[in-house]
Structure 1
Amino acid sequence: MLYRDEQPPIHLMRPAQPQGIDRSDPNDMSCHPLVPFSNRIAGSHFVFHGRAVDLPPNAPFIQDVIHGHGWKTPWNVVEQDDQTALLSFSHEADCWPYPYRATQRFHLDEDSLSITLELANLGDLPMPAGLGLHPYFPKPLGTTLTAELDGVWLGDDRHIPVERVPLPIGWDFPHGIALDEAVLDNNFTGWSGLAAIDWPSAGTRLTVEATPPFRHAVIYVPAHQDYFCFEPVSHMTDAVNRAATGESGTGFAELAPGQVFGGTIRFKVSSLR
């Protein structure tokens, strides 16, 4: 995404990296979808309606299965025009024993991009379900992130949630924090569906607006990198296992046969001046 104002054009998402395009590596893209779950499932294992499911790890150097199928799966272009594109893929039952269809609809307006994600259960049994987006944003000096959040899950060394706590003083995202020195990889709770990324050096703001079910957010700010991620997601990390323990507020969703689950995330650009 490029933005042109009186200033020179700037990138609103990190440009796809040439080596990533050559390798078809989603980690080097500008954004990728998270379907049928976001982030990690602890031990790559869960039990749902009495059925044990074991999934193979799917990313280098990460012990637990992560981000589902959509980020590494080719999608079909169903329709497109100057402003809209609809992409789709269908998953047949395998070690994830629930067949489903996922779609992404992109719609470009003069000042915004909207992405609608949907997931439909094509099977005869209920299935666990989750959705999210994993955009990468530039992080020049002075980048500030503001988001209406109320808590954060602290995790273990594998980034599996262990304890939910109120926002620490240093992570006061509702009032905005500069990301220059931040190092984060956490799942935040209570997101209102509204966030803002400010790039003062470019005089530009990108507002992120999301409908339900996107009421959780993963914030990833790696050390010594020129990008960060603010990921609108429908559930906490490892929600399928946490919900099975009786944990509330996980965002876990169960889709009945034929049921459709989804929502829209909008990225809107404006001037800070």
Structure 2
Amino acid sequence: MSSSSEEIRLAAGTAEVGVQPGNGCRLGSLTVDGVELLRQGERYGSFPMVPWCGRTRDGRFRNGGTLHQLPVNSPPHAIHGTARDAAWKTARQSPTEAVFTYDLTDPWPYPGRVTQVVELTEDALTLRMAIETYGDSFPAQAGWHPWFNRHLAGGDGGQDDSGVQLSFTPAWQEQRGDDHLPTGTRVAPTPAPWDDCFGMPGGVDVTLTWPGRLELNVASREEWVVVYDEPADAVCVEPQTGPPNGLNTLPRLVTPLEPLETSTTWTWRRL
């Protein structure tokens, strides 16, 4: 088991990433030219959401005729999976790539394994995740929850003034109910601020631009992305395999023959 303080460092060119397997296998840091892109703090950085993403209504989901109850860690719902609160194991590492595993266990009712691969190049970070079952098939989701800094630290230790700008063209927005879950109705995208799920059938494609500094693109073959830009100091762009409450509304089964596999690539360029 990894200790909570262990950090795996990867480096390529002037890009560096720090992975914390003992802290939910989150990225604790991503720097380009020495500038930190992720919000710092034990609960921030960028963490994998697995085996579900976002909120699951009342912490309950069905697998066939069996009703399961998950811990309600964001009342009245269960949020962001169990793996972000667990210690992962480091399977292998090189200077630019590392592989981590997490065995699903209580409170998740089905045994299985999650694998996350972190791969860094000079201008891109690729994250891959797979969920396998050790027995019965079960519904699951996987995704990532990065907290990008709204402002990048300046070369003099100050802050730039304009803050990050988001650019994306979703086909629809999931209408959000008072309980923060999609109602099942798709609506035309609304203006920011957002804590909302969007549909991008051609694949997730969201660009974050820090004017005059850096442009970063978040891409994934998945068609679901949650954008959360309400905090004053961070924005979240979360590619995932289904919408919030998807264990109930759009289940994707992990079977002995077919694991759930997903990935996201973040590519940057200097401005």
TM normalised by structure 2 equals 0.80
Per-residue CA deviations over 1:14-72 (Å, capped at 9, x if unaligned) read: 2x22xx2xxxxxx3x2100011110111111122210011111124xx32111111111
How far the C-alpha of 1:152 sits from its partner, in A, is 1.0
Distance 1:98 1:258, change over 3 A: farther
* Alpha carbons 1:142, 1:201 under 8 Å: kept: no
Do structure 1's residue 129 and structure 2's residue 103 form an aligned pair? no
1:47 aligned partner, one-letter code: R
Who is 1:246 aligned against? Answer: none
1:218 aligned partner, one-letter code: V
Who is 2:73 aligned against? Answer: 58
How far the C-alpha of 1:145 sits from its partner, in A, is 1.1
* Alpha carbons 1:12, 1:206 under 8 Å: kept: no
C-alpha separation between the residues in 1 aligned to 2:37 and 2:64? Answer: 42
Who is 1:254 aligned against? Answer: 253
Which of 225, 228, 231 is equivalent to 1:220?
228
How far the C-alpha of 1:201 sits from its partner, in A, is 4.1
* Alpha carbons 2:138, 2:253 under 8 Å: kept: yes
Judging by fraction of residues, say which structure has more strand.
2
Per-residue CA deviations over 1:130-174 (Å, capped at 9, x if unaligned) read: 100000111132421122311111222321111433333x53xxx
C-alpha separation between the residues in 2 aligned to 1:47 and 1:108? Answer: 38
1:155 aligned partner, one-letter code: R
C-alpha separation between the residues in 1 aligned to 2:107 and 2:66? Answer: 12
How far the C-alpha of 1:199 sits from its partner, in A, is 0.5
Per-residue CA deviations over 1:217-240 (Å, capped at 9, x if unaligned) read: 0111124x2101000000011112
* 1:143-222 alignment, distance < 5 Å: 143-168=164-189, 170-171=190-191, 182-191=192-201, 192-202=203-213, 204-211=214-221, 214-222=222-230
Q: Secondary structure at the match of 1:241?
A: helix
Distance 1:207 1:100, change over 3 A: same
TM normalised by structure 1 equals 0.79
Identity of aligned residues (%): 25
How far the C-alpha of 1:95 sits from its partner, in A, is 4.5
2:252 aligned partner, one-letter code: A
C-alpha separation between the residues in 2 aligned to 1:44 and 1:257? Answer: 25
* Alpha carbons 2:52, 2:247 under 8 Å: kept: no
Q: Secondary structure at the match of 1:268?
A: strand
2:258 aligned partner, one-letter code: Q
Who is 2:31 aligned against? Answer: 2
* Alpha carbons 1:183, 1:222 under 8 Å: kept: yes
C-alpha separation between the residues in 2 aligned to 1:120 and 1:148? Answer: 33
Instruction: Give the superposed CA RMSD.
Output: 1.7
* Alpha carbons 1:58, 1:66 under 8 Å: kept: yes
C-alpha separation between the residues in 2 aligned to 1:163 and 1:255? Answer: 23
Q: Secondary structure at the match of 2:122?
A: coil
Who is 2:47 aligned against? Answer: 32
Who is 2:241 aligned against? Answer: 234
The number of aligned residues is 231
1:32 aligned partner, one-letter code: F
C-alpha separation between the residues in 1 aligned to 2:118 and 2:264? Answer: 10
Who is 1:138 aligned against? Answer: 149
* 1:83-122 alignment, distance < 5 Å: 83-92=96-105, 94-122=106-134
Do structure 1's residue 12 and structure 2's residue 24 form an aligned pair? no
Tell me, which stretches of 5 or more residues in structure 1 are unaligned?
A: 21-26, 172-181, 243-249
